[in-house]
Amino acid sequence: MSEGEHADHRAAARVVTVEVVVALLFVALGAVVMIDSLRVGAGWADDGPQSGYFPFYVGTLMVVSGVANLFIAVRRRWLGSGPFVSRTELGHVLHVLVPTAIFAALIGFVGLYVAAAVFIGWFMVRHGRFRWYSAAAVALGVPLVLFMVFERWFLVPLPKGPLEAMLGL
């Protein structure tokens, strides 16, 4: 096996590392919920629970669960941990994650319909290996159908950009 083939199957992250990071994020999120619940009132008022009462206890459960998972992950580290994802598998995930993040960011600048057309067209050509004219037909058709369904029939406005403003939509 050559070096290049072997390198693709090396672990990009180990299970224990991912478990520790997720547990710490869960503890942090729970702490934020608890702190904000205390800010708005997490006690019991004359007329019942304050608005932060139940979220405070949900945040507490999140912190306790995160700490428990952190201890389990650290214990697993001592026992050994296998790979969570290989570099090749991580590459496959990033091939979808990066364009999806760009799509989400574009919505604020060009609107949902234009961003969806670009996103659909990109995936059809790049990953589906469709011809450009087939991809263009679908990439333009799907946002058009979405526009008709949401904007015209259900009267639900979705984020629009400069193109829709230019067209008076």
pLDDT surpassing 90 at residue 15: no
pLDDT surpassing 90 at residue 11: no
The helix/strand count (H/E) of the chain reads as 6, 4
pLDDT in tens, 53-63: 999 999 999 99
CB atoms within 10 A of CB 120: 20
Report if pTM > 0.85.
no
Q: What confidence tier does 3 reach under pLDDT thresholds 50, 70, 90?
A: very low
pLDDT surpassing 50 at residue 1: no
Please provide residue 10's backbone torsions phi and psi, each rounded to the nearest 5 degrees.
Answer: -70, 155
**Residue 167: both structure tokens together:** 């067209």
By residue count, the chain amounts to 169
pLDDT in tens, 64-116: 999 999 998 888 766 666 777 888 888 888 999 999 999 999 999 999 999 99
